[in-house]
Structure 1
């Protein structure tokens, strides 16, 4: 089995600037060379995915191959955004991985019911976050077959 040579865009939806920076650094530390885009809330996430507003340029904001989604964000939280993503035919095939501080069983059950691909609780330490990102990148970019975007 060889690694997937396609460059897949990773879209990270998280309102916390420090968390965004830490996830980006952890992905870089795990030697992931994929292009990373960021949005700060559920409204921006849906605008990006539908190329609306400031995300209208499809070349600058291409369809991601993977979404890392925080649940607790302003304007439209991750749960609401996930529900809308999975209701839109042109978006529902994009794998969405919840990456959140929540450990609530209700959140885990609800997000899987809405169609999330995986649920990960954010690790407390940076080294643990790097380990999670290494595992995540190996799984999503070397092991599984993703649909062509």
Structure 2
């Protein structure tokens, strides 16, 4: 994996992941989307461990689209590890989930999620949400460059 990934999509539902990737590519928002299917893979990817040990750890994604209910490690655990990492704590993370539960939302914000989006059920609404998310985080949002102290 030589080129930088702009969006890390962490999603265990194959249909949602494929629709999200297709929508982003169709709207020319990002050709550099990488999909992992569980929380453990997300951590390995972000920290360049395991199957991703050859990945350049300095190529941090611009945003992580993170599902809440995941196998191996759930989205809360992944978010916690990101926020506890000195290198990744400023990485934008968007919780993209079907959970409307207040406790999930509160826990996510307590841990420093940048945004909490409930996945629309309607196909057109889902594709519009993904398009808008991609546009905002890759085009509109300004993130600080890494500065050595």
SS at match of 2:9: strand
SS at match of 1:63: coil
Alpha-carbon shift at residue 39 of structure 1 (Å)? 1.0
Distance 1:11 1:94 in 2: 11
TM-score (norm 2): 0.88
Aligned partner of 2:98 among 86, 101, 111: 101
TM-score (norm 1): 0.88
Distance 2:87 2:107 in 1: 22
**Backbone CA RMSD of aligned residues:** 1.9
Structure 1 alignment gaps of length 5 or more: 1-6
Alpha-carbon shift at residue 141 of structure 1 (Å)? 2.2
Aligned partner of 1:45 among 42, 52, 63: 42
* RCO higher in structure (CA 8 A, sep ≥6): 1
Aligned partner of 1:28 among 10, 25, 30: 25
Residue number in structure 2 paired with 1:16: 13
Alpha-carbon shift at residue 88 of structure 1 (Å)? 0.6
